[in-house]
Amino acid sequence: MDTNLTAIAAKAIGQMMIMVIIGIGGYKLGLIGDKERDALTKFLLNLICPMLILNSYMQGYDPEKTRGLFLSLAMGVLIHVIGILLGMIVIKKENNPDWQVERMAIVYGNVGFMGMPLMSAMFGIDAIFYLSAINLVYVFLIWTHGVLLMTGSMDRSNLKKVFISPNMICMAIGILIYALRIPVPQFIASPIASISNCVTPLAMLISGAIIASSNFAEALKHKRLYLVTVMRLFAVPVLSAVCLRVLHIPYMVALITFTAAACPMGSMVTMFAIEHKKNPGYASGIFTVTTVLSLITIPALIALYGMF
């Protein structure tokens, strides 16, 4: 077993858990209200995460990393296809009014909100370089397959949201900088790097506020939540790990892909449930439970992954 990898994961998760607890305390003390939490979430997803992605591309060109980037894109497709197929097999439509929420919960992990802070804390900026490709797949699929799943139809406005999102714009700019080897002046690169360093503490404080504002005990009463949680936190990453081993994917790309597959349900699923009136309370419960449990399951799965 790669004990060093396990120690890195445990240390990163431990530090993140402390930040989550501080976020819970901040909400309970009234320092972070619902409006502040929602505003900070929007700020994180539309500014901090895009800056983190952009920062990951401001490095010297490396052919090996470029190959890893394209491979990460393919692996991003793989783990989402695994989730889609698993959801279709396990979650049936008959006598289940929440089947859309449950299938989306299995497919779409919190790659941006949870994956980026974790990868940044564990492996630094190089991990974000690869993870950005997986996030590209996530954004494209959630605004195409996700919308189709929730509504049964899709129009051009949804595709437009893929390409005008801050993450996609910053990734496009970053790729141009990286591929064309455009030098970025230090007085520009330094502020971007400083802003991107805020991603982990801010994401965990928000997670704490979300957990504190949710009815965790009520969520646990929903029997089907346990099936969805097992699929999201165990079945998807385990099946992904098997595929990664069979395909002999390079270690760093495989590890980042595996960790992305192990992330809890994405917050976007809850937002979709609210927008399309698909039991948002249940979706919020899945998000809360999987987020809390992922603080334990992710380092445990990484430890097991290192054993094989």
Q: What is the DSSP letter of 165?
A: S
Confirm if 274 and 144 have CB atoms less than 8 A apart. no
pLDDT, tens digit (0-9, with 9 covering 90-100), for 87-108: 999 999 888 889 999 999 999 9
Biggest CA–CA distance in the chain, Å, is 59
**pLDDT at residue 3 greater than cutoff 60:** no
pLDDT at 239: 96
DSSP, collapsed to helix, strand or coil, labels residue 64 as helix
Nearest CA to 216 out of 294, 297, 293, 285 is that of: 285
pLDDT at 283: 86
Least confident of 46-60, 85-99, 160-174: 160-174
Neighbour tally for 77: CB within 10 Å: 16
List Cα–Cα distances, 190 to 52, 98, 145, 194, in angstroms: 12, 46, 38, 6
pLDDT, tens digit (0-9, with 9 covering 90-100), for 249-278: 998 899 999 999 999 998 788 878 877 888
Confirm if 132 and 56 have CB atoms less than 8 A apart. yes
pLDDT, tens digit (0-9, with 9 covering 90-100), for 116-140: 887 877 777 788 889 888 988 888 8
Residue 179, domain CATH: 1.20.1530.20
Average of per-residue pLDDT values in the chain:
86
**pLDDT at residue 154 greater than cutoff 60:** yes
pLDDT level of residue 82 (50, 70, 90 thresholds)? very high
Read off the amino acid at residue 90: V
pLDDT at 33: 87
**pLDDT at residue 14 greater than cutoff 60:** yes
Tell me what the mean pLDDT of segment 243-251 comes to.
Answer: 93
Residue of higher predicted confidence among 195 and 12: 195
pLDDT level of residue 86 (50, 70, 90 thresholds)? very high
Instruction: Say what angle helices 125-142 and 49-57 make with each other, to 10 degrees.
Output: 120
In whole angstroms, give the CA distance from residue 279 to residue 283: 7
pTM: 0.84
In whole angstroms, give the CA distance from residue 281 to residue 278: 9
pLDDT at 151: 82
Least confident of 27-31, 142-146, 157-161, 173-177: 157-161
Least confident of 100-109, 155-164, 178-187, 208-217: 155-164
pLDDT at 229: 95
**Cα 136 off chain centre by:** 11
pLDDT at 1: 45
232-235, long-range: CB < 8 A, 24+ apart: 232/105, 232/106, 232/109, 232/264, 232/265, 232/286, 232/290, 233/262, 233/264, 233/290, 233/293, 233/294, 233/297, 234/297, 234/301, 235/86, 235/106
Residues 6+ apart with CB under 8 A from 186: none
Least confident of 88-97, 109-118, 141-150, 180-189: 109-118
Q: Could you list the residue range(s) of the whole structural domain that residue 224 is in?
A: 3-305
pLDDT at 117: 80
List Cα–Cα distances, 89 to 28, 83, 136, 222, 280, in angstroms: 40, 10, 25, 20, 23
**Percent of the chain that is helix, strand, coil (3-state, to 5):** 80, 0, 20
Residue of higher predicted confidence among 67 and 306: 67
| 263-294 core/surface letters (b: 16 or more CB in 10 A; e: else) | bbbbbbbbebbeeeebbbebbbbbbbbbbbbb
Residues 6+ apart with CB under 8 A from 9: 122, 298, 299, 302, 303
pLDDT at 159: 67
How many domains does one find in the chain? Answer: 1
**pLDDT at residue 230 greater than cutoff 70:** yes
